[in-house]
């Protein structure tokens, strides 16, 4: 419990104790005394409620889960220098500005980036990733222990406690694993979605469309 909330709770208990003591020492019970006792009791209960709400508004941060993996950076060599720089810059920002522990980018059924804690296992998109691509909608697994399909991400990094899958249309997805359950905020998800949109444009740029054959 935070210090200010503890102080409020102590004041509430002290007020409640004084109210009970005052009622016990009174020689006669008058309507005025009864009203004063009720108001004092309501005030004490109100202060207790404030202390409880204060504690919930400032919860203790979740400790990091000890994840098994090696720090690394792997970028596909099929991209231009500008595209590789975008992959490197964006993944670095996610790892430093959010609670991300591992970042994986899937582009056209190929893993084109792994960064942070990584494994050497081959990653294949499973039902959760495919559903995100089909719906073009971000899927957030705030606590993977509650999702039976979490095993599909073990090839990314075993036992990730939280995962965000952000699609890039039907072209690919940015998958981010967190250090602890419920570690990603709405702001973090907006960060990931913003970079996914930018990355989709960057990786799709510079591609030459096939030229139709000349008509006879």
Segment among 93-107, 109-123, 143-157 with least mean pLDDT: 143-157
Task: Indicate left, alpha or beta for 215 from its phi (over 0: left) and psi (-120 to 50: alpha).
Answer: beta
Maximum mean pLDDT: which of 41-45, 123-127, 208-212: 123-127
Q: 134-161, pLDDT tens digit by residue?
A: 999 999 999 998 888 889 999 999 989 9
The per-residue pLDDT for 60 is 52
The whole model's pTM is what? 0.69
User: Quick one: what percent of the chain has pLDDT higher than 90?
Assistant: 54
How are strands ordered across the β-sheet holding 162-167?
70-75, 110-118, 100-107, 172-178, 162-167, 139-141
The per-residue pLDDT for 1 is 61
Q: Does residue 61 carry a pLDDT above 80? A: no
Mean pLDDT of 179-183: 92
Please report which confidence band the pLDDT of residue 57 belongs to, taking 50, 70 and 90 as the band edges.
low
């Amino acid at each position: 419990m935070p210090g200010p909330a503890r102080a409020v709770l102590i004041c509430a208990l002290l007020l409640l104790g004084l109210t009970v003591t005052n009622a016990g020492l009174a020689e006669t019970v008058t309507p005025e005394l009864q009203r004063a006792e009720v108001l004092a009791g309501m005030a004490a209960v109100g202060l207790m409620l404030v202390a409880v709400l204060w504690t919930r508004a400032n919860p203790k941060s979740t400790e990091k889960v000890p994840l098994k993996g090696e720090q690394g950076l792997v970028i596909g060599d099929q991209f231009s220098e500008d595209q590789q720089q975008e992959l490197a810059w964006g993944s670095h920002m996610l790892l430093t500005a959010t609670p991300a522990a591992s970042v994986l980018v899937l582009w056209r059924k190929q893993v084109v980036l792994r960064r942070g804690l990584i494994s050497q296992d081959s990653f294949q998109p499973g039902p959760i990733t495919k559903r995100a691509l089909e719906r073009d909608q971000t899927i957030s697994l705030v606590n993977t222990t509650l999702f039976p399909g979490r095993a599909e991400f073990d090839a990314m990094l075993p036992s990730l406690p939280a995962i965000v899958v952000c699609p890039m249309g039907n072209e690919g997805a940015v998958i981010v694993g967190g250090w602890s359950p419920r570690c990603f905020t709405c702001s973090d998800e907006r960060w990931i979605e913003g970079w996914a949109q930018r990355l989709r444009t960057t990786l799709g740029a510079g591609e030459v469309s096939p030229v139709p054959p000349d008509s006879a």
